[in-house]
Structure 1
């Protein structure tokens, strides 16, 4: 068989790297559950018309088809696509199961998604997302727009002992932006938001030109939009600056007032519950038009070039069956993007490449069954154990364990020259060796499972 060519955009980690990913997923899941979120998983495919509701282009969706599809089912298959995020599947899930769910419904979902975009660092065609959402039936109190980014802050904080860099969650409120734009006389709000979202990519002056050309703004109106987008800060000074700008621009409407009041509330709560983590940044637009309130993006400090690792916002009409509406707020961590940066920059390491804590040596093939029995006794007590593949010299068996990072080698009891030798276990890192019984011995807690730590510690 010829050597296969890797597929770009479909990451496959080595075992030691996979341990890092699994530890990150485990800590995120634990945080979500500690905060009362219930886990669900949705199907991998959705109808294409539903997938495209969010305004994504068809080139980003992988269409489902079968090589051997018959004429009678090829059309139905072509109407399905792999989901490219977890928001649309969750909205559909809520509508289908509304009669069985208790509202407000808090869910987490950790699952792979597929997106047909150009692969580059931190961007993949197949990747893990970790989402939390809370949805209400008919209404959803504003305090959830405060609570959810703080839960995400807690999740990201739980990863910092592993070597994940410090982070900031940047927040804005779509009501602030829309109220301000309408207050200065603009009507094509989506066009303004879509272009404000491009400031970091193409620069403020090019964005101003796009607002003039695509949103019908005057040069003065475009500049006022940029002035609003330039405001940022983690305390109430940014709120005061936004109100002063609105007053100077003649903006006085309920939408702006509601948005700026909500943003102020969020900053006040964040200052008490997660000081220094959340920052108001009024250029954050999240160009998707279904967001209606708070919007969020998160960046790793010192790794801003990676882009947002966690984003989301408030939505009011995404989950609706025409009669009932289920407003919600949610955020999503791009787990694969985060892991790829940790690996590429060698920020994190795992203590070994296998879960195995103990390798049981084999004296000779005739006594392999004894080594198997020792391994089973250790496994029954929760110790991940392997048995040496060959009855080589003990030195070679130790090298086998050392190559994989297995910390302990177990030497079975034996009798030689009429002398009994008890079971012994050796820490091959230190050379310490002592008698032990498989029914009572346990490795230190830090060696029971692979440890994921920062390379700087």
Structure 2
């Protein structure tokens, strides 16, 4: 038998784990639709120029044909442009909006649950292929800051419906950071943001060294940058940021937007300001989000996003947008790996029909079809063995019921209790239970 080596970063769940993933994605989609978001699916590939316009090109998987279009005429053998697999859902969505603007009504609220690919180093909770669950709202020409609050509120509600530890959604505003840095006389804003975004990974001392050595920022300015980044909490930290004494109109605008988002989400709880959040991608222009799990902060943000006013460009009308993304694969990979969630279900089958002998297979198939017609997941045991062995096989697969075809009717045995009783096949229903059985250890 051939041996296969696992490829790191490409998760493969057990059947029960996959069932749980599907169930959670269905719950997420239902919550998104309750809030008025419509589903779309974009293609898996984009031109490299689209992916690298505002993104991080080191994470992109390129797409090449094995035979390099050898079957086509020579003058047509080259693609117009190199294609790559999308590394998030926001960049292709922005392209989608511009390309299909004549078919859409604005503001356009969409959700997308789809795979993405990143060529980064696999580690706990980080994969090369994974599902993201995104919501975005895009306006034509303008989009009110209340949309930023709606994103935070919807995603926080979603996370509270999932089997997860408590989530804290932290927000900042890129305008605050950029205005603050400009007020300090710093002109290399993007480089400064990228370095500050490393705070959680490398710590304040290392960030201070990078700001001084790479950007030549003086000690006083570095001290103020780190003082701002330390501020975390509710509305009170906005006043604390002002008290640092740095002034700039862009900073003032960002603080006002933060105040509005906080006011609109105050009733939800679980949302706080964190001035250390910068988000590495260049396309964010306003509110930014990062969500961590209480007691599991070491895995970093499990849900993030922000405002992008310039990403969906290319038409006569600008399309400012805001979005937030939940990495469902990343979450489940961590929870499964740490046994914080243990899935007990192994199959969707609710009842297994036992075989009396080889001749009873036709009758067993008929019984299975009658149960399925009433929405009961039923299967027929795969081989003729004595009932004891068949029952052991059913228990091993964690199927709750075994059905016996008897001379005078039908009987069902509940494997968990051992109770067996006669049934009317056309009216019997299995006891109500969740489709996927699992336990949480947190």
Shared fold by TM > 0.5?
A: yes
**Is the contact made by 1:20 and 1:348 (CA closer than 8 Å) also made in structure 2?**
no
Unaligned runs of 5+ in 2: none
Out of 317, 325, 330, which is 1:324 matched to? 317
Aligned match of 2:415: 428
1 CA distance for matches of 2:380 and 2:315? 61
Post-superposition Cα deviations, 1:102-154, rounded to whole Å, max 9, x if no partner, equal: 11001110111111111111111111111100001111011001110111101
2 CA distance for matches of 1:2 and 1:368? 34
The alpha-carbon distance between structure 1 residues 383 and 158, as it changes in their structure 2 partners (threshold 3 A), is same
Aligned match of 1:291: 284
1 CA distance for matches of 2:398 and 2:80? 47
SS in 2 for 1:346: coil
Aligned match of 2:392: 399
TM-score scaled to structure 2, two decimals?
0.96
What are the within-5 Å matches in structure 2 for residues 53-452 of structure 1? 53-57=53-57, 59-71=58-70, 72=74, 74-76=77-79, 79-159=82-162, 162=163, 164-233=164-233, 235-245=234-244, 248-249=245-246, 251=247, 253-272=248-267, 274-275=268-269, 277-414=270-407, 421-446=408-433, 449-452=435-438
SS in 1 for 2:26: helix
TM-score scaled to structure 1, two decimals?
0.93
The alpha-carbon distance between structure 1 residues 201 and 455, as it changes in their structure 2 partners (threshold 3 A), is closer
SS in 2 for 1:327: strand
2 CA distance for matches of 1:368 and 1:287? 61
How many angstroms does 1:88 deviate by? 1.1
**Is the contact made by 1:357 and 1:406 (CA closer than 8 Å) also made in structure 2?**
yes
**Is the contact made by 1:190 and 1:289 (CA closer than 8 Å) also made in structure 2?**
yes
**Is the contact made by 2:146 and 2:264 (CA closer than 8 Å) also made in structure 1?**
no
Indicate the RMSD between aligned Cα atoms, in angstroms.
Answer: 1.5
Aligned match of 1:418: none
1 CA distance for matches of 2:350 and 2:230? 53
**Is the contact made by 1:139 and 1:327 (CA closer than 8 Å) also made in structure 2?**
yes
1 CA distance for matches of 2:81 and 2:189? 34
**Is the contact made by 1:46 and 1:82 (CA closer than 8 Å) also made in structure 2?**
yes
How many angstroms does 1:349 deviate by? 2.6
1 CA distance for matches of 2:280 and 2:213? 17
